[in-house]
């Protein structure tokens, strides 16, 4: 290691040697036994003492048998996130090393695909709850969603660096954590906590396509890694097609269709920086003949408005991709979200040449795959273009789904 982790992490005060003992409801014990990684505040009957963020908390059942140990955060409704269940054991560098090596093993197939931008750690589903580590070539972007990670970050990242010689680690902290600056000890969102500052644009490869990544100001950790497999699928549909990519961000789907032989690709997004980034990404891949040959058009506008205008103009495309941001984060927003998906599906099929392909995605966690499909299919039928040959896909292999709440991405492929 030529560098070392930021001194603030190395010098973080030790957590209390006494874990917080939690008495919880029987149903919470049952849920933890089934492997659920969360313990909600309202299911706690008693706490041995008031813990600090990052203390360990232990749950025993009514017969005083060990149930689980995890990270405690007194500020969050999810009071504890499970690190070990059914068998007790230390939470130390070796523990983190074991979880990390297991996660890396799961992702070995990706290394054969000219891909160096992928999710290395996907939180709960990789046994490290509320922690995301995305790799972009030699840079790791570490995003934490609870203050409870801070005292453990040094051990965890030291274990990571032993297995993966990263040049640099960028720290991202969730919005909620910023409400407690006194616990951050000066750490900031976007801070480089290991290695050199970023002196030039960071890029990564996805199935051989190159993308620029801004891990500090970009959306998510800089790139929507979860759509890799769906982009690869879309690429296979694109030969000779005119494509509309709505909510295009930095042009992930646009580039895939261009390499797949699309003659013309329109990237539509309301964000100027996103459109500019998609243009730079086309330039970055101009050495690929099919990308150079495809005509890339851009539209910086609200997608609902722009698609309605395109319908009015009588525009038609052979392939329409619609991958909007999450419209619902809470259950109360589901109805509104379904209306928005229906509206987009209606606009989408109206822009589709007969027999064309439409791809619709939803990353709204509370919207179930069934509701999403029903809303979209009903809207297409109302437009007189019922969806056919429907296929549904979800997450790529680096976004494993080990419990229900981690299932957010839905993607529907169809003809109309």
Shortest reach from residue 34's CB to ligand SAH, in Å: 33
Smallest gap from residue 269 Cβ to ligand SAH (A): 5
Rounded to whole angstroms, the Cα distance separating 415 from 398 reads 28
CB of 222 to ligand SAH, least distance (A): 10
Q: What is the Cβ-side half-sphere exposure of residue 221, based on CA atoms within 13 angstroms?
A: 29
Taking the complex as a whole, the smallest distance from the CB of residue 134 to ligand SAH amounts, in Å, to 13
148 within 8 A of 185, measured Cβ to Cβ: no
* CA-derived radius of gyration, the chain: 23
Site string for ligand SAH, 169-208 (x = CB under 6 A): ----------------------------------------
Give the nearer residue to ligand SAH in terms of CB position, either 269 or 398.
269
Q: Counting contacts by CB under 6 A, is residue 284 touching ligand SAH?
A: no
> Shortest Cβ distance from residue 55 to ligand SAH (Å)?
36
227 binds ligand SAH (CB under 6 A): yes
Contact between 393 and ligand SAH per CB under 6 A: no
Q: Is residue 258 within 8 Å of 294, Cβ to Cβ?
A: yes
The answer to the question of residue 222 lying near ligand SAH (CB under 6 A) is: no
Which of residues 325, 335, 392, 405 is near ligand SAH by CB under 6 A?
325
Q: How far apart are CA 189 and CA 173, in angstroms?
A: 5
Q: Which of 128, 160, 209, 274 is the binder for ligand SAH (CB under 6 A)?
A: 274
Stretch that binds ligand SAH, among 129-137, 201-209, 312-320, 321-329 (CB under 6 A): 321-329
Q: Is 156 part of the annotated catalytic residue set?
A: no
The angle subtended at Cα 344 by Cα 340 and Cα 350, nearest 5°, is 150
Task: Pick the stretch among 54-62, 73-81, 152-160, 267-275 that binds ligand SAH (CB under 6 A).
Answer: 267-275
Q: How far is the CB of 150 from ligand SAH (least distance, A)?
A: 29
Rounded CA-CA distance 327/232 in Å is 25
DSSP one-letter code for 103: H
Q: How far is the CB of 235 from ligand SAH (least distance, A)?
A: 12
- d(C-alpha 41, C-alpha 20), whole Å: 13
For residue 247, state whether it binds ligand SAH (rule: CB under 6 A): yes
By the rule CB under 6 A, 282 interacts with ligand SAH: no
The one catalytic residue among 156, 204, 363, 377? 363
* Position 271 contacts ligand SAH (CB under 6 A): yes
The Cα–Cα gap between 403 and 406 comes to 6
Q: If DSSP codes are grouped into helix, strand and coil, which group holds residue 137? A: coil
HEC string of 164-206 equals: CCCCEEEEEECCHHHHCHHHCCCCCCCCEEEECCCCCCEEEEE
Q: Which residues pair with 387 in a beta bridge?
A: none
Q: Does 269 bind ligand SAH (CB under 6 A)?
A: yes
Q: Which of 124, 126, 235, 323 binds ligand SAH (CB under 6 A)?
A: 323
The answer to whether the beta carbons of residues 81 and 148 sit under 8 Å apart is yes
Q: Is the alpha carbon torsion for 266, 268, 274, 276 positive or negative? A: positive
- Dist CA 319 CA 341 (whole Å): 17
- In the complex with ligand SAH, the residue whose CB is nearer, 73 or 269, is 269
Applying CB under 6 A, which of residues 193, 303, 340, 409 lies at the interface with ligand SAH?
303
Q: Which stretch binds ligand SAH (CB under 6 A): 29-37, 157-165, 302-310, 375-383?
A: 302-310
- Cα distance from N-terminal residue to C-terminal residue, the chain: 55
The answer to whether residues 27 and 51 touch, using CB atoms and an 8 Å cutoff, is: no
3-state helix, strand, coil in the chain (%, to 5): 35, 30, 35
Interface residues with ligand SAH (CB under 6 A) are 224, 227, 247-249, 252-253, 269-271, 274, 302-304, 323-325
Active site residues: 363
């Amino acid at each position: 290691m030529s560098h070392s982790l930021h001194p603030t992490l190395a010098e973080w005060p030790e957590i209390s040697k006494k874990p917080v003992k939690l008495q919880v409801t029987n149903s919470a014990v049952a849920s933890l036994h089934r492997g659920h990684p969360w313990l909600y505040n309202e299911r706690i009957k008693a706490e041995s003492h008031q813990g600090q963020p990052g203390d360990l908390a232990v749950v025993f059942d009514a017969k005083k048998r060990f149930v689980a140990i995890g990270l405690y955060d007194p500020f969050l409704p999810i009071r504890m996130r499970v690190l070990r269940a059914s068998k007790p054991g230390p939470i130390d560098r070796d523990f983190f090393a074991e979880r990390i090596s297991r996660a890396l093993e799961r992702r070995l197939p990706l290394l054969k695909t000219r891909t160096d931008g992928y999710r290395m750690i996907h939180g709960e589903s990789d046994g490290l709850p509320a922690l995301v580590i995305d790799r972009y070539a030699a840079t790791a972007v570490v995003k934490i969603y609870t203050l409870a990670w801070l005292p453990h970050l040094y051990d965890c990242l030291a274990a990571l660096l032993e297995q993966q010689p990263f040049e640099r680690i960028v720290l991202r902290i969730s919005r909620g954590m910023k409400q407690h600056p006194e616990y951050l000890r000066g750490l900031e969102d976007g801070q480089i906590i290991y290695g050199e500052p970023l002196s030039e644009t960071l890029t990564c490869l996805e199935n051989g396509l190159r993308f620029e990544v801004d891990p500090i100001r970009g959306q998510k950790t800089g790139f929507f890694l979860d759509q890799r497999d769906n982009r690869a699928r879309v690429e296979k549909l694109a030969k000779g097609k005119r494509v509309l990519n709505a909510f295009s961000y930095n042009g992930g789907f646009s580039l895939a269709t261009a390499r797949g032989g699309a003659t013309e690709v329109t990237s539509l997004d309301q964000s100027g920086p996103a459109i500019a980034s998609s243009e730079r990404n086309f330039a970055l891949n101009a050495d690929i003949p099919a990308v150079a040959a495809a005509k890339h058009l851009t539209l910086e506008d609200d997608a609902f408005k722009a698609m309605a205008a395109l319908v009015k103009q009588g525009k038609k495309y052979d392939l329409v991709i619609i991958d909007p941001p999450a419209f619902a984060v809470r259950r109360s927003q589901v109805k509104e979200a379904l209306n928005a998906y229906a509206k987009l599906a209606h606009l989408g099929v109206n822009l589709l040449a007969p027999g064309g392909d439409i791809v619709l995605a939803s990353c709204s966690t509370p919207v179930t795959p069934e509701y999403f499909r029903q809303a979209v299919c009903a809207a297409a039928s109302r437009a007189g273009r019922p969806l056919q040959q429907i296929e549904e896909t979800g997450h790529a292999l680096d976004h494993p789904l080990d419990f229900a709440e981690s299932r957010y991405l839905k993607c529907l492929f169809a003809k109309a």
